[in-house]
Amino acid sequence: KQEVTQIPAALSVPEGENLVLNCSFTDSAIYNLQWFRQDPGKGLTSLLLIQSSQREQTSGRLNASLDKSSGRSTLYIAASQPGDSATYLCAVSSGGYNKLIFGAGTRLAVHP
């Protein structure tokens, strides 16, 4: 059974720091991996989608990498800002039909 783990569970950093969020999964047979941002009362916002054949994706200050063989993905946030404060969720599509299996998330606080 596929399991997704995110470390750390919570992170508090000063503004301007570069930071890395980690995601690991137990079964390397995935179709894709998606990173989401969750804000209270605003649902989930898709940040980056990495297909199983890709190694990384970039969007603005965000960069996500995928190492399928080791079952790991990282989300790199450059020059963090208070507006980046949110919970970040990692999800893998495994077993077909684009069904997602989620990690519990990393709660990020960026303070001025």
Instruction: Output the six-digit token pair for 68.
Output: 């399928």
**Closest by alpha carbon to 66, among 86, 83, 43, 90?**
90
By CB under 8 A, residue 99 contacts other proteins: yes
Q: Which stretch binds other proteins (CB under 8 A): 14-22, 66-74, 75-83, 89-97?
A: 89-97
Find the binder of other proteins among 21, 25, 36, 64 (CB under 8 A).
36
- Name the DSSP letter for residue 36: E
**Closest by alpha carbon to 85, among 8, 14, 4?**
14
By CB under 8 A, residue 4 contacts other proteins: yes
Find the binder of other proteins among 60, 69, 83, 97 (CB under 8 A).
97
Q: Is the peptide bond before 14 cis (omega within 30 degrees of 0)?
A: no
In DSSP terms, 12 is beta-bridged to 109
- Reduced to 3 states (helix: H, G, I; strand: E, B; else coil), residue 84 is helix
Find the binder of other proteins among 18, 26, 46, 81 (CB under 8 A).
46
By CB under 8 A, residue 41 contacts other proteins: yes
Instruction: Pick the closer one to other proteins by CB: 4 or 77.
Output: 4
Closest separation between CB of residue 97 and other proteins, Å?
7
